[in-house]
Amino acid sequence: MKIIKRDKLKDLLNSFAKNAQTLAPVKENDTIKFLPWKGQGEIDLSQNALLPPKDLLFPQTEVMYRYTDGGVQGEITDVAAAAERQVIFGIRPCDVRSLTMMDDVFMTKGYEDDYYKSKRENTILISLGCNEPQPTCFCTSMGIDMMEADGADIVMYDLGEKLALEPKTDAGEQLLNDVDVLEDGAAEKPVAKECQLKADAEGLAEKLAQMFHHSYWEDLSRTCIGCGTCTYLCPTCHCFDIRRKNIGEEGFQFRCWDSCMFSEYTRMAGGHNPRPSKKERVRNRFLHKLQYFPERYGKVACVGCGRCVGKCPVNIDITRIIGELREVSVDE
Amino acid sequence: MSNSVAKQLEEHPLVPMVGEVSKIVDETPDVKTFHIYYEQGKPFTPMPGQVAMLSLLSVGEAMFSVRGVDENHLEFSLKKTGILTDALHEIEEGQKVGVRGPYGNGFPIDFCKGKDMLFIGMGIGLAPVRTMIYHCINNREDYGKMQIIYGARSPQDLVFKEDLFENWHKVPNCGVDVTVDRGDDDWDGNVGFVPPFVEGLAPNPENTVAIICGPPIGIKFTLPVLEKLGFTNDQIITTLEMRMKCGIGKCGRCNIGSCYVCLDGPVFSLEQLKVMPDEY
């Protein structure tokens, strides 16, 4: 185990940043964001970042390839290059868990998405255990240990004046060996305070498989305004659109985040839309998280980070919905 | 497939292979067939029923049924329906287009082997069915009797006329029956919708697989007819359409329940569809 004093944290990040793009939670305009560390800024480890760090592996907008298309002679001129090494410092256990779900989506079931994979394989994760949850947090309901993070290369604990770092992988070990601002030491793992918000999604998928035509979805969709905020903030939401931008005779194909809450998402040429109203879209969002993803990948696609709970403008709270879905009768 | 091409597809499953449109066939006023030529050999050999992403680089890409023609050609038949197909209908021979794939499961060839085959196509829905018809023709000894039933809105809207009225009549033990919703002065064939036409022809369900594609409304009214004739759900195979962006099960939008049409479809038996949510 390695120890660093809190006031030396910038030295540690500076050391990491010499060899790799280093992302750390920095407070900017009253918002905590994962930003590239350039030696300056206010590191804020008091609570999780507003946006999950999924965009570091799956950018909100990402160029896929470039082409020329002058009249009839089109060709692809450049495919996006492989990713550079990056260190994500201070990622919370919930967001680490979400990346294992991203891995399922982008790297299994027959096709590996090379854009994602390249970034993922060049990323080192340093998790930070949560001593104190936010009022909207419910990660422990989703089977997450607030201190530990399966999948992180280094697990970090907040000891107040000090931080303790425990390497979990060879890459993590190597990274810590390469810096000289750490001291060897031992520390007792902090005890996390309990999440106040709870949800029990265990076994819910089987019940939901009987509830596709339930009136619950119609009722729930009346509140939703279809803004898509929940999907953009969600660390497990991975839907994307593929579009292109033409500049004269050149152009590029890019992908960008999309949301199942938007009507255009499933609208086909000719106008047919299998999910034409909010009812079908809200239903799809919750069934995707609670039934379809578990059926496909064996996991509930929610990590209890609470971002959607905190930011939904009409207070749609997935923990309340899980509770209600447990209660309602399948036969209405 | 050459090794370098295979490698590129393996490394970049979302990047198309650019080929040249070597021939465009006007099928109907709003359907054209595009032959795409690859000098180094076609990038993949699709199984019947599989789909591929066809793109005009500066306009967009969309998923269509694809057929492998010979060593160098892929073939798509497209109805003019949206931004991309409108643009594709404007291009001329010599134009470069992109193709990536093949995607999806294709028709259940092993399940169909040794059985009589009933093909029902409606409108442009004949395009995916035709990939299986050609597979059966090219492996004629593996399949029993073939019966092809096709319907279009009008004589003008009949696609693949050369196949319907010449080529397929020469295939041994193969019947072709064509109907149109509305005839014209020159049409001396059957007039009427596909469902009653199928009912009148009364294909025998015994040891038969029915492959049916067409507009949803056509399928909806033909299924009860097949049921009445004695076809069971596992004997009826169809293909689904959904909006797709990636084709490889990542972008999210073509799900029906926990199935992705791009990976687990587009071919489904009626038996499978009965246990899936009816959201397509």
Mutate to test the interface with A, among B4, B11, B14, B90 (most CBs of A within 10 A): B14
Mutate to test the interface with B, among A266, A299, A300 (most CBs of B within 10 A): A266
Residue A320 clears pLDDT 80, i.e. is over it: yes
Residue B2 clears pLDDT 50, i.e. is over it: no
Region A83-91: what's the mean pLDDT? 96
Cα–Cα distances in angstroms (integers) from residue A168 to residues A150, A172, A240, in the given order: 9, 6, 32
Evaluate if pTM is beyond 0.90: yes
How many CB pairs lie under 8 A apart between chains A and B? 132
Region B11-35: what's the mean pLDDT? 94
What are the strands, taking DSSP E only, across chain B? 17-28, 31-37, 51-56, 60-65, 67-68, 73-79, 96-103, 116-122, 146-152, 174-180, 190-191, 208-213, 236-239, 255-256, 259-260, 267-269
Q: Which residues of chain A from 171 to 210 reach within 8 Å of chain B, CB to CB?
A: none
Q: What is the C-alpha to C-alpha distance for residues B185 and B188, in angstroms, rounded to an integer?
A: 8
Q: How far is CA A219 from the centre of its chain?
A: 28
Question: Going by C-beta distance under 8 Å and a sequence separation of 6 or more, which residues neighbour residue A247?
Answer: none
Summarize pLDDT for B127-184 with one digit per residue, the tens.
999 999 999 999 999 999 999 999 999 999 999 999 999 999 999 999 999 999 999 9
* CB-nearest partner of B12 from A69, A114, A274: A114
Summarize pLDDT for A16-67 with one digit per residue, the tens.
999 999 999 999 999 999 999 999 999 999 999 999 999 999 999 999 999 9
Q: What residue in B sits closest to A241 (Cα-Cα)?
A: B245
Cβ contact B13–A284 (<8 Å): no
B159 touches B152 (CB < 8 A): yes
A167 touches A176 (CB < 8 A): yes
Summarize pLDDT for B229-245 with one digit per residue, the tens.
999 999 999 999 999 99
pLDDT at residue number A72:
81
* Amino acid code (one letter) for B212: I
Q: Chain B: nearest CA to A295, how far in angstroms?
A: 6
Summarize pLDDT for B3-12 with one digit per residue, the tens.
555 555 567 8
pLDDT tier, A82 (very low <50, low <70, confident <90, very high otherwise): confident
Q: Which residues of chain A from 277 to 306 reach within 8 Å of chain B, CB to CB?
A: 280, 284, 287-288, 291-293, 295-296
Burial class (CB in 10 A: 0-12, 13-18, 19+), A298: exposed
Residue A303 clears pLDDT 90, i.e. is over it: yes
A11: how many CB neighbours lie within 10 A of its CB?
16
pLDDT at residue number A193:
95
Interchain CB contact of A275 with B (< 8 Å): yes
pLDDT at residue number B10:
63
Summarize pLDDT for A125-184 with one digit per residue, the tens.
999 999 999 999 999 999 999 999 999 999 999 999 999 999 999 999 999 999 999 999
Instruction: Identify the CA nearest to A234 among candidates A320, A148, A312, A119.
Output: A312
pLDDT tier, B1 (very low <50, low <70, confident <90, very high otherwise): very low
Is B251 annotated in a binding site? The answer is yes
Instruction: Identify the CA nearest to A154 among candidates A168, A144, A164.
Output: A168
Summarize pLDDT for B78-133 with one digit per residue, the tens.
999 999 999 999 999 999 999 999 999 999 999 999 999 999 999 999 999 999 99
